[in-house]
């Protein structure tokens, strides 16, 4: 017996399948609990006004937020700068040449040149002595001659030998007794710096270890323990062209003494005799290296 097969079911058209799918109910979405809503950039900026560049700079710098180390460093730098400023001011105010005239400055420079020339001459003299000693046929005799000449020079410096030569005489008349020992000591030091080779104050020879003190009760002056009376008379051997200007520089010896109402007279001479002598003293500890 022959069975008949069922007829083929025709495929659904695309439009029909799509329509049926649309008719099927869609699944319901899961419920989500509402949370806090964060404001966006636009909403955040809407609450505060926008700052300019200068306002942001001021806000970043003030109030200052400095650490302890930075504060300590700032205080130290301030103290250092203040000290430097005070030092510079005091140095400029105390300069003796601040109000000097051009002529005085030129004279001071000439004195410095003269001192340099004297040192150069002394150096050349020592070189010549060495050359003569090396080239002499009788070196022993030449050595004795140079030793005798050196002894005379050292005797003048030590005050054990009288000396004469060109120089100056300075007389300080102190009628009110206002001149003190340190003022005369400044005069001695200034004369030495100007090239003085022999100095005598009244009847006392000035040597390397000379000291000056005020007398008892503030009256009079003593030189090496010997009291000297007024007026004070300096006899100095050296180059007059260097000695006199050294005493008359602005703020120097003459002006200092005149401020104390003392009278200072300086005169040049081609022959100054320094005849006050000092006894030679044997040192207690120092000995010649050749012994």
3-state secondary structure (DSSP) of residue 60: helix
pTM listed for this prediction: 0.52
Q: What is the pLDDT of residue 56?
A: 76
Query: For residue 111, what are its two tokens?
Result: 């004195």
Q: What is the pLDDT of residue 44?
A: 47
Alpha helices in the chain (DSSP H): 14-23, 41-47, 53-61, 68-93, 102-135, 139-158, 181-193, 240-247, 253-259
Query: For residue 276, what are its two tokens?
Result: 């006050």
Q: What is the pLDDT of residue 159?
A: 86
Distance CA 259, CA 272 (A): 28
Q: What is the pLDDT of residue 258?
A: 92
Q: What is the pLDDT of residue 274?
A: 94
Can you give the pLDDT of all 291 residues of the chain as single tens digits?
455 555 554 544 545 545 554 555 555 555 545 555 555 554 545 555 677 877 777 776 666 666 777 778 888 888 888 888 887 776 554 455 666 677 777 777 777 787 788 888 888 888 887 787 777 666 667 677 777 777 787 888 888 889 999 999 999 999 888 899 999 999 999 999 898 999 999 999 999 889 999 977 667 899 998 999 889 999 999 999 999 999 988 888 999 999 989 999 999 999 999 999 888 777 777 776 655
CB of 222 within 8 A of CB of 211?
Answer: no
Nearest to 114 by CA among 239, 8, 258, 280: 239
The secondary structure of 216-266 as a DSSP string is GGG-SEEETTEEEPSSEEEEEES-HHHHHHHHSSTTSHHHHHHHTT-EEEE
CB of 176 within 8 A of CB of 263?
Answer: no
Instruction: From residue 188, give the alpha-carbon distance in Å to each of 170, 258, 269, 286.
Output: 11, 17, 18, 26
Distance CA 244, CA 241 (A): 6
Q: What is the pLDDT of residue 270?
A: 94
Q: What is the pLDDT of residue 187?
A: 94
Q: What is the pLDDT of residue 1?
A: 46
Q: Within 13 Å, how many C-alpha atoms sit on residue 195's CB side?
A: 23
Sheet holding 163-173, edge to edge: 204-206, 198-201, 232-237, 163-173, 263-274
Distance CA 195, CA 123 (A): 15
């Amino acid at each position: 017996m022959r069975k008949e097969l069922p007829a083929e079911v025709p495929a659904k058209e695309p439009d029909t399948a799509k329509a049926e799918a649309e008719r099927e109910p869609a699944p319901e979405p899961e419920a989500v609990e509402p949370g806090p809503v964060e404001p966006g950039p636009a909403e955040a900026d809407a609450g505060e006004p926008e700052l300019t560049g200068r306002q942001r700079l001021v806000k970043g710098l003030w109030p200052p937020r400095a650490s302890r180390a930075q504060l300590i460093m700032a205080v130290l730098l301030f103290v250092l700068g203040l000290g430097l400023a005070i030092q510079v001011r005091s140095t400029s105010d105390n300069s003796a040449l601040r109000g000097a005239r051009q002529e005085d400055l030129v004279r001071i420079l000439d004195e410095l040149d003269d001192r340099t020339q004297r040192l150069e001459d002394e150096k050349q003299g020592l070189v010549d002595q060495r050359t003569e000693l090396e080239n002499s046929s009788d070196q022993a005799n030449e050595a004795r001659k140079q030793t005798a000449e050196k002894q005379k020079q050292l005797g003048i410096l030590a005050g054990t030998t009288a000396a004469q030569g060109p120089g100056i005489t300075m007389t300080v008349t102190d009628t009110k007794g206002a001149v003190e020992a340190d003022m005369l000591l400044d005069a001695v030091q200034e004369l030495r710096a100007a090239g003085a080779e022999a100095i005598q104050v009244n009847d006392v020879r000035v040597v390397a270890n000379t000291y000056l003190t005020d007398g008892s009760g503030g009256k009079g002056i003593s030189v090496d323990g010997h009291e000297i009376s007024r007026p004070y008379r300096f006899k100095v051997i050296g180059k007059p062209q260097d000695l006199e200007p050294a005493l008359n520089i602005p703020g120097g010896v003459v002006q200092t003494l005149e401020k104390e109402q003392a009278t200072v007279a300086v005169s040049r001479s081609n022959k100054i005799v320094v005849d006050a002598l000092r006894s030679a003293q044997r040192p207690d500890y120092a000995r010649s290296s050749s012994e």
